[in-house]
Structure 1
Amino acid sequence: MSGGTWGGSDREHDDACHGRWLAVRNRVTDRSGYRDDWYDAQCGGCRFWVALSGELGRDWGVCTHAGSAFDGRVRFEHDGCELFAVREDGSFG
């Protein structure tokens, strides 16, 4: 990086982050124990989920719920937690 702010457009870096972060998901749809009622309560639809900018923002955001164990942590849009709060406008991502 030569001068200026990095804009998150390094594909190799983004892919490496994506791989590392997938390993620490809380809820995985193909894992035993995943409950059907969690499907509609995914991070990407939570009012406290803020998408990252750049390419990573297509799948990743940050939890901003002060009461959540994930507050301030990067979360996969299809992950979730017990403090999910639906967005009033019904949007996702």
Structure 2
Amino acid sequence: MKTEEIIIANLKCNGCASTIKKELSSLTGVKEVAVDVEKDAVNVTYDNISRESIINKLHSLGYPEATEKNGLLLQIKSYGSCMVGRINNL
């Protein structure tokens, strides 16, 4: 089992964190997900899944790794993910 901290872009609030936790937790092989909004960090404990698969899932939600290019489309995707997370927390 491996635990890794991934620094991401576009993390704004607990709505974002909620969406990230839900979506990453649904991946086979991901055992635990913790999001630190203050540090723009996602801590993932996983096995039998590649780091690349986790990064790709974050990217598809609009939260690219901080080392990636963060264009307008990804920023818009993150706002959509944020809204879904906020609605799910009501």
What TM-score do you get using the length of structure 2 for normalisation? 0.31
Higher-RCO chain (CA-CA 8 Å, sequence separation at least 6): 2
What TM-score do you get using the length of structure 1 for normalisation? 0.31
Q: Based on CA coordinates, which of the two structures has the bigger radius of gyration?
A: 1
Name the one with the larger strand percent.
2
